[in-house]
Amino acid sequence: MSKVQVMDHPLIQHKISYIRREDVGSKEFREIVSEISALMCYEATRDLKLKDVKIQTPICEMTGKELSGKKMAVVPILRAGLGMVDGILSLIPAAKVGHIGLYRDPETFQPIEYFCKLPADCEEREVFVVDPMLATGGSCAAAVQLLKEKGVRHMRLMCIIAAPEGVERMQKEHPDVDLYIGALDERLNEHKYIVPGLGDAGDRIFGTK
């Protein structure tokens, strides 16, 4: 069974509460999504492996530490996942970026794929799949499935707000993928929106409503 880590860091909780407010406009929403993503990335990378490395400081030689595990990639689920990329790259600038385009059919709620472009060596990388919203879990489960079909074996999923239904679906379909969640909300409504949630993340990031 995968690990589910709900972020309890006060800065993350504070910023998530802020962007839930309906009167927060796109500019501020985007900026804070980016800040939350960086903070979540910091928390979600605590277990990265390190190796000893000999370095020369201006004073003396010493044994320091550097990352030793797989190289990383970030794969946002379009559109809303794009809002999380810059925050993550601010901490992991060498990560490559892939894109998976999925939208949720408003009537069937099924994810529909329209784009996929991944780093050539993505199967050798540790991949962070990112999407602000895990609602039914259909989009994230489909993105992870697509990445598995492309050969990716090591993935983590990072979502700012999740519904219990989405967490359950991910754990059932992809028990090998750890979940990092900013806030675990109550439920889905009849339109499969997260309650209390923050509304439509893509529309709020890009100002399309």
Applying CB under 6 A, among 39, 40, 72, 135 the residue interacting with ligand URA is 135
Contact predicate 18/10, CB 8 Å? no
> Cis link prior to 125 (omega < 30° from 0)?
no
What's the closest the beta carbon of residue 77 comes to ligand PRP, in angstroms?
A: 5
**Annotated binding residue at 34?**
no
Instruction: Tell me which stretch binds ligand URA (CB under 6 A): 25-33, 60-68, 145-153, 193-201.
Output: 193-201
Residue 139 marked as a ligand binder: yes
Told to judge if 203 belongs to the known catalytic residues of this protein, a careful annotator would answer yes
| By the rule CB under 6 A, 126 interacts with ligand PRP | no
Please tell me whether residue 165 binds ligand URA under the rule CB under 6 A: no
Q: Which is nearer to ligand URA, 73 or 135 (CB)?
A: 135
Site string for ligand URA, 54-73 (x = CB under 6 A): --------------------
Which residues are tagged catalytic? 104, 108, 200, 203
Q: Which residues bind ligand PRP (CB under 6 A)?
A: 77-80, 103-104, 109, 111, 131-140, 166, 192, 200-202
